[in-house]
Structure 1
Amino acid sequence: MRALLSALYGLAAYLASQAALLYFIGFSSNLVVPRSVDVGPSAGWQEAVLTDVLLLAVFGVQHSVMARQGFKRWWTRVVPPVVERSTYLVATCAALLLMFRCWLPIDTPVVWRVESGPAVMLLWGLFGLGWLIVAVSSFLINHFELFGLQQAFSPLRGGQPAASEFRTPLLYRCVRHPLYAGLMLGFWSVPVMTAGRLLFAAGLSAYVLIGIAFEERDLLRLFGERYGAYRQRVGMLLPRLRTFHPAGRRDARPATPHTHRTGG
């Protein structure tokens, strides 16, 4: 019975995280969703800046602290290890829902506005490419582990979650953090950059860079010199010359978001 409950909880957390991610894409781009980074209740700029900075801080602290190994060692004394990742996703969804509900747009000033048709299409193309890279990167490293399903369903299969592997599939042979690189591309590739969206993009970009620093510290502790050599050889978010290696080579586990891993 406990195994079934873990699986159902993991499935619910997975579905909620995918819904939140899709809404996040619309929220960041002012597409489809009713409230977004530039669409919502009006407020004075001082109130909006303070509110939005606090929302970004809540998301950043939750997303980073809960992904750290020290927190996980304490947290798994409270929740079963097989649903630790799923619980992390639930907390992330709560932080995102708070952002979606309480974010206050800052329409002016407009930092840039691109009106040329080809340039607008190029920026939206880069936006879509960024989120495509995020999706592909999650499957390259094990999408279902990243989003907790593999761990939550492991009791039903009568086994334990597989140990972390040390490998660099495809995009991870070009950059150490392709998932984060895709996020950054999605944050900044927009034809209209208002002050509110600039705050949103800059705040989340700062979180990404801070998250990478913490994550790489954990990866160095976990994999030692092998990850250190990988870090020297392969660029963090942009490719370096001569970093692509034969497909079969296994030499470093991909550094993922806290995601997040979009995540940890």
Structure 2
Amino acid sequence: MFSRLAILLYAIVSYAVFTVSFLYALGFVGNYVVPKSIDLPFDVGSPSNVTEAIVVNLLLMSLFAIQHSVMARPAFKRWWTRVLPVACERSTYVLLSSLILLLLFWQWRPIPAPIWQTAGIVAWLLTGIHWLGWLIAFASTHMIDHFDLFGLRQALAELRGTEPQGPSFKTPLLYKIVRHPIMLGFLLAFWATPEMTAGHLLFALANTAYILAALQFEERDLIAEFGESYRQYRRRVPMLLPRLFARTRTRDPNTTRSIGAPR
């Protein structure tokens, strides 16, 4: 019982660290409230050397991309769960991802050279799309299983001494429109800004490249897990960009089962 309580406490702490990193990300990307953001250093009077800034920023984003992708692969999970309890696997993934994000926010080097600047209704529209992106990303986690995605459900199952529910194939709400609404939300949040700087552009480009590459691995894993059901889902639903004029198709009963979020 003590070990089960420790696993639950570990999951709660991991989720708390994620919450801090997610809330800071809102201010970091949008240049709101936080002491250091994507365009604003702690010391406003000492801008970064551009070459140094590009190298450091790319290294930080690469560290996040490597950890986020490698630890999400089924082969790594099988190896990793020989080292620590299965109930801790997802929480550990979430904790390490969140800590690397906090490191990125701390060590980020702003490059404030302007790329575009807007005002008036255009600025308001871009700001609205930016916040819509964050809303889509967060809401999409609840459309599947938010607590499973962040490791809490696994810890609770361990506390009760029951087997955690395995992933199911489902396509609720936004998942009927695009296959990866969480990633779509992030892309909207990263690109929609009334003032785009060189540093922000670097951040958006690098993360877009990572998302597009990582989704290829994710799709391969989902096909391996769900087989023909996911192949049919892929043929019917676009990956990131919604179809404005969808053709009516015969509904396949297999696709009423559902799919978990990108891992």
Per the normalisation by structure 2, the TM-score is: 0.93
Q: Work out the CA distance in 1 between the residues paired with 2:130 and 2:87.
A: 34
Shift of the 138–106 alpha-carbon distance from structure 1 to 2, 3 Å rule, reads same
Deviation at 1:253, TM superposition (A): 3.3
- The amino acid of 1:37's aligned partner reads I
SS at 1:31's partner residue?
coil
**Where do residues 182-197 of structure 1 align in structure 2 (5 Å cutoff)?**
182-197=185-200
Partner SS state of residue 158, structure 2? coil
Q: How far is 1:252 from its partner?
A: 5.2
- 1:230 is aligned with what amino acid? Y
Verify: 1:130 aligned to 2:133, yes or no: yes
8 Å Cα contact 2:169/2:260 also seen in 1 = no
CA distance in 2, matches of 1:71, 1:216: 17
Is residue 79 of structure 1 aligned with residue 62 of structure 2? Answer: no
Match of 2:181 in 1: 178
- The equivalent residue for 1:52 is 57
Matches within 5 A, 1:86-105: 86-105=91-110
In structure 1, how many angstroms separate the alpha carbons of the residues matched to 2:149 and 2:249? 24
Runs of 4+ with deviation above 6 angstroms: 243-246
Which residue number in structure 2 is paired with residue 8 of structure 1? Answer: 9
Could you tell me how far apart the structure 2 residues matched to 1:65 and 1:111 are? 33
Q: Indicate which of 215, 218, 221 corresponds to 2:218.
A: 215
5+ long unaligned stretches in structure 1: none
The alignment yields a C-alpha RMSD, in angstroms, of 1.7
Superposed CA deviations along residues 223-242 of structure 1, whole A, max 9, x for unmatched, are 11110111011000012314
Q: Using a 3 Å threshold, how does the CA distance of structure 1 residues 143 and 56 change in structure 2: closer, same or farther?
A: same
**Measured at CA, do residues 195 and 252 of structure 1 come closer, stay the same or move farther in structure 2, by a change above 3 Å?**
farther
Name the residue aligned to 2:115: 111
Output the amino acid matched with 1:191: P
Q: Specify the alignment match of 2:48 in structure 1.
A: 43
Deviations 1:97-141 (A, max 9, x none): 210111100011x111012x1111111110111111111100011
2:157 to 154, 160, 166: 154
Shift of 1:37: 0.8
Aligned residues: 255
Query: What SS does the aligned partner of 1:155 have?
Result: helix
Q: Report the residue type matching 2:118 in the other structure.
A: V
Contact 2:167-2:260 within 8 A present in 1 as well: no
Aligned to 1:34: 35
Task: List alignment gaps of at least 5 residues for structure 2.
Answer: none
* Alignment partners' CA distance in 2, 1:189 and 1:138: 21
Displacement of 1:244 in angstroms is: 9.2
Q: Are the counterparts in 2 of residues 177 and 254 from structure 1 also a CA contact under 8 Å?
A: no
Taking only the aligned residue pairs, the percentage that are identical comes to 46
TM-score by length of 1: 0.92
